[in-house]
């Protein structure tokens, strides 16, 4: 009696698995047919130039507060930038013999740091020695953002090509295809940005080395020396 129960259970399990296996095989056949129907997905990733604006509306006390620095320190300048991406999709759809839809995605991703704002303490008027040296320092932060985009672009393009080389391309509805492509693309972008965030942060911290911070702290003295008339002579 126990043997019969075991055999009956196994037979029932086999019946339950058979439709699932058949469905999986059918889906694999549709995926293969879809990939043969269209060329590979078109993937394009580009980056916009980093174009900072300058804001002199805040004094150094306000900038120090924004940076969360102790009261004894003074922040003369500050650069803020936000990494953004925009994605556009141009998907071709063709109906398969079984009635489902074969989608061939075309994905364009644009990366940018927008907005990028260089804040200079309002105590330092444009054209002054202090203003210029603060700008020069903050431009080094901007350069690190530009380098990040330069390195991110080809890596992300390779990631997206890999994703779409194995992605699902057969759907019941056009809207399902678009939602899947959008969600998948953003997941790939988030993963790559997270992987690179440590290096990006380290580079920005490197700009604010102790030597550089010491130089900026002595900015007034440095500019006074540079602006002093030469000794001797006429």
* 71 and 87 Cβ atoms separated by less than 8 Å: no
pLDDT the model gives residue 7: 38
Domain boundaries, the chain: 34-224
* Phi-psi category of residue 228: left, alpha or beta, with phi > 0 → left and psi -120 to 50 → alpha: beta
Average predicted confidence (pLDDT) for the chain:
87
Instruction: Check residues 15 and 166 and name the one with the higher pLDDT.
Output: 166
Determine what percent of the chain is predicted with pLDDT higher than 90. Answer: 69
pLDDT the model gives residue 3: 42
Q: Which of 27-31, 114-118, 197-201 has the lowest mean pLDDT?
A: 27-31
Per-residue pLDDT band at 228 (split at 50, 70, 90): low
Tokens 């060329």 -> residue: 39
Partner residues linked to 94 by β-bridges: 102
Confidence (pTM): 0.83
C-alpha–C-alpha distance, residues 143 and 102, integer Å: 43
Q: What is the pLDDT of residues 196-224, one digit of tens each?
A: 999 999 999 999 998 998 888 888 888 98
Q: Where are the beta strands (DSSP E) in the chain?
A: 42-47, 53-55, 77-89, 92-95, 101-104, 106-120, 170-171
* Phi-psi category of residue 138: left, alpha or beta, with phi > 0 → left and psi -120 to 50 → alpha: alpha
* Phi-psi category of residue 127: left, alpha or beta, with phi > 0 → left and psi -120 to 50 → alpha: left
Q: Report phi then psi at 121, rounded to 5.
A: -50, 135
The residues, ordered by sequence, that sit 6+ positions from 74 with a Cβ below 8 Å of its Cβ are 60, 61, 64, 217
């Amino acid at each position: 009696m126990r043997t019969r129960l075991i055999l009956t259970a196994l037979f029932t399990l086999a019946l339950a698995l058979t439709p699932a296996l058949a469905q999986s095989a059918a889906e694999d056949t549709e995926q293969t047919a879809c990939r043969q129907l269209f060329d590979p997905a078109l993937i394009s990733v580009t980056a916009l130039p980093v174009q900072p604006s300058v804001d002199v509306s805040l004094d150094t006390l306000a900038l120090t507060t924004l940076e969360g620095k102790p009261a004894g320190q003074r922040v003369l300048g500050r650069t803020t930038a936000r990494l953004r991406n925009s994605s556009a999709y141009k998907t071709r759809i063709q109906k398969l013999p079984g009635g489902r839809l074969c989608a061939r995605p075309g994905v364009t991703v644009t990366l940018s740091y927008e907005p990028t704002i260089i804040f200079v303490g309002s105590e330092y008027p444009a054209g002054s020695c202090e203003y210029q040296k603060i700008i020069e320092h903050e431009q080094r932060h901007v350069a690190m953002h530009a380098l990040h985009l330069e390195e991110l672009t080809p890596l992300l393009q390779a990631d997206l090509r890999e994703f779409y080389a194995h992605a699902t391309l057969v759907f019941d509805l056009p809207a399902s295809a678009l939602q899947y492509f959008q969600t998948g693309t953003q997941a790939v972008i988030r993963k790559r940005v997270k992987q690179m965030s440590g290096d990006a942060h380290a580079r920005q911290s490197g700009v604010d080395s102790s030597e550089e911070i010491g130089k900026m702290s002595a900015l007034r003295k440095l500019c006074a020396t540079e602006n002093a008339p030469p000794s001797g002579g006429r």
